[in-house]
């Protein structure tokens, strides 16, 4: 029997139960707010393995601060019970949403972009979730998705915190220490019991995205062994067979997530989020056309190239910038105008480079970058380490400069646009079908 008050929390109602405990809606009597209180059942408090996993979840999630990751308020013990207090999310799980209403392509992309952002934040903190599934994604009424349940997460020790990186899975799945995750949403390497990195989460993410778009699980079978075999050897049916509105570009993204070999998938959740964001549009109806415009196809193709290509792009841009600056310095600048050239070119914090363009006068660099899943145009001077975003350039792709370095042109929303540099409003020039080859 659960007491009415645990520590300074008053139990209001039961929200649900899982392998690691029961979850209750509770009131924080000290702060006067509603919280979700996760309790480890009393019968498990004497089980060191259960206690360790329960505390592992709290320690892991508490290292993360991201709008799409459930916030941990407190971990404690009272009346012989161990508890974790978290923010209360008023909504349903992604599983419940799928079973109740299904999801449109626009809704699926919105959820997917937010989950990718959460996984990118986890990766930056050295965390692999290893149990991404619809039950661990909350779809609240305010539209802000939350990823939860880091009970199987692998955490690299940080700030001298003693964290066990090998936490056994639930016994109902398989023997402890062999398979990590939930069978229907594991990567091939997890099925084999091999070492898993962040690309395992991307495979699980791909299965969720497939299910949101098709209404069916990517891999099925009459038994656990059949499902495992399908994950290792089979490819799911084409998405177009169940939803003719899914574009080839979106199909390619899902297929890349579900590659059997980790090196063939997206290498980071940031890259994945960038590719998904490139498919977004102001109007949800545009996402549900039979095929996206060729401009989106080109952007996705660029976004999902291997990270090695990105290094070459940055190196090439740096070389062009150095040549452009040298030309401008020796032909246009008086000898007294000595300028400092800094050779490091890094993307803004918590973002990744997209396309890059050096101004003809060799003084500035324009580039696209995704921060928090939102792509826009950025500019930085080549003699500075600071970059700033340009307002009104959301969704920008393939930027290029005017010959006099006064304007930056780019593609967005199926149109060619320009913005005056360093300040000015965005002007729409014309509609386009595909970016110009450069």
With residue 277 as reference, give the H or E element that holds it: helix 269-278
Question: How far, in Å, CA of 27 to CA of 435, rounded?
Answer: 55
The phi, psi pair for 132, rounded to 5°, reads -75, 120
- Closest among 140, 270, 143, 248 to 201, alpha carbons compared: 270
Contacts of 406 (CB under 8 A, 6+ apart): 420, 421
291, 295, 296, 298: CA torsion to nearest 10? 110
Cα distance between the two ends of the chain = 70
Helices (H), 69-185: 94-100, 105-124
Q: How far is CA 394 from the centre of its chain?
A: 18
Could you tell me if 322 and 345 are in contact, meaning their C-beta atoms sit under 8 angstroms apart?
no
Catalytic one of 79, 90, 101, 131 = 131
- List beta partners, residue 82: 40, 77
CA distances in angstroms from 162 to 114, 158, 165, 176, 397, listed in the order given: 30, 8, 9, 21, 44
Half-sphere exposure of 299 (CA within 13 A, CB side): 34
- Judging by DSSP bridges, how do beta strands 426-431 and 127-128 pair with one another? unpaired
Catalytic residue flag (residue 131) = yes
With residue 14 as reference, give the H or E element that holds it: strand 9-18
Cα-Cα-Cα-Cα dihedral sign, residues 13, 18, 22, 28: negative
| CA angle 352–436–387, rounded 5-degree value | 30
Question: How far, in Å, CA of 189 to CA of 170, rounded?
Answer: 18
| Residues annotated as catalytic (active site), given as ranges | 131
């Amino acid at each position: 029997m659960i007491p009415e008050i645990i520590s300074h929390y008053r139990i209001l109602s039961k929200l649900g139960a899982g392998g690691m405990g029961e979850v209750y809606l509770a009131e924080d009597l000290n702060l006067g707010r509603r919280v979700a209180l996760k309790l480890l059942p009393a019968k498990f408090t004497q089980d060191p393995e259960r206690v360790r996993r329960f505390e592992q979840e709290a320690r892991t999630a508490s290292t993360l601060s991201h709008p799409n990751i459930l916030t941990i308020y407190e971990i404690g013990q009272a009346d012989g019970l161990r508890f974790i207090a978290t923010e209360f999310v008023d909504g349903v799980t992604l599983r419940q949403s799928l079973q109740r209403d299904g999801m449109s392509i626009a809704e699926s992309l919105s959820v997917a972009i937010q989950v990718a952002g959460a996984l990118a934040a986890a990766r930056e903190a050295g965390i692999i979730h290893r149990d991404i599934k619809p039950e661990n994604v909350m779809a609240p009424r305010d539209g802000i998705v939350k990823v939860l349940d880091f009970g199987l997460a692998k955490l690299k020790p940080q700030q001298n915190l003693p964290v066990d990186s090998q936490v056994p899975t639930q016994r109902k799945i398989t023997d402890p220490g062999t398979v990590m995750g939930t069978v229907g949403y594991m990567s091939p390497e997890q099925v084999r019991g091999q070492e898993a990195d962040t690309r395992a989460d991307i495979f699980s993410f791909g299965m969720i995205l497939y299910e949101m778009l098709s209404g069916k699980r990517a891999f099925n079978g009459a038994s656990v062994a059949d499902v495992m075999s399908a994950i290792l050897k089979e490819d799911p049916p084409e998405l177009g067979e169940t939803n003719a509105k899914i574009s080839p570009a979106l199909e390619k993204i899902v297929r890349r997530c579900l590659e059997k070999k980790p090196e063939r998938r997206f290498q980071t959740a940031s890259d994945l989020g960038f590719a998904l964001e490139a498919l977004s549009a102001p109007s949800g109806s545009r996402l549900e056309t039979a095929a996206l415009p060729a401009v989106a196809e080109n952007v996705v193709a660029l976004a999902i190239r291997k990270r090695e290509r990105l290094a070459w792009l940055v190196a090439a841009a740096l070389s062009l910038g150095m040549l452009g600056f040298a030309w401008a310095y020796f032909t246009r600048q008086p000898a007294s105008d000595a300028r400092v050239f800094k050779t490091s070119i890094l993307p803004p914090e918590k973002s990744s480079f997209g396309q890059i363009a050096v101004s003809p006068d060799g003084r500035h660099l324009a580039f696209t970058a995704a921060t928090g899943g939102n792509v826009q145009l950025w500019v930085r001077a080549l003699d500075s380490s600071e970059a700033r975003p340009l307002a009104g350039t959301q969704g920008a792709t393939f930027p290029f400069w005017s010959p006099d370095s006064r304007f930056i042109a780019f593609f967005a929303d199926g149109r060619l646009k320009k913005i005056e540099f360093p300040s000015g409003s965005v002007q729409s020039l014309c509609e386009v079908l595909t970016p110009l080859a450069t």
